[in-house]
A = this chain, B = another copy of it.
Amino acid sequence: MSHVEEHLQSLGYTLPEAPAAAGNYLPYRISSNQLFLSGVLAMKHGRISPTGKVGGPLSVEDGQEAARTCALNALANIKAALGSLDRVSQFIMVNGYVNGVDGFARSPQVINGASDFLVEVFGDVGKHARAAVTVAGLPGDSAVELQIVVEFV
């Protein structure tokens, strides 16, 4: 098991199965030393959870938990792509989409659930540039979707 994956387990997390694509596309593409991941949802045990709108039925804390779940699914895709999480040299960019009520302005607080997790697991390697926006809807009504680009060796 890789060093990063051991650390992940010591923090109490287990890598899920890499999520299946929800359409005729790939979970990732590699160009040069950059790995482009497809959008990942808040998938738990094969079901999206939580679903619904942050700032309405869901709290910011619910959204943070969803963002962390998305990030964990992204790690499963990274492992599937690279064989080991240890090959990540840096997280380049995280685009965080929050399924929020109209006018929801706290997308950064929600996406911090993913950002804090990535830094907890990867240290400096996990730090990333980021954009967080609130959108009108997400696939399967997922509370959060993340789109991530990483650099690897």
Complex formed: what's the CA distance from A128 to B31 in Å? 11
**Is A95 in contact with B29, judged by CB distance below 8 angstroms?**
no
Known A93-B36, A136-B100: A147·B128 in contact at CB below 8 Å: no
**Which of B107, B137, B149 contacts A107, CB < 8 Å?**
B137
**Which of B25, B28, B112 contacts A94, CB < 8 Å?**
B25
**Is A137 in contact with B25, judged by CB distance below 8 angstroms?**
no
Can you spell out 30 A-B residue pairs with CB atoms less than 8 angstroms apart?
Answer: A23-B111, A24-B115, A25-B94, A25-B128, A26-B127, A26-B128, A26-B129, A31-B33, A31-B34, A31-B151, A38-B130, A39-B133, A95-B147, A97-B131, A97-B133, A100-B136, A101-B136, A101-B137, A102-B137, A103-B141, A104-B136, A105-B137, A106-B139, A107-B137, A107-B138, A107-B139, A133-B137, A133-B138, A133-B139, A134-B136
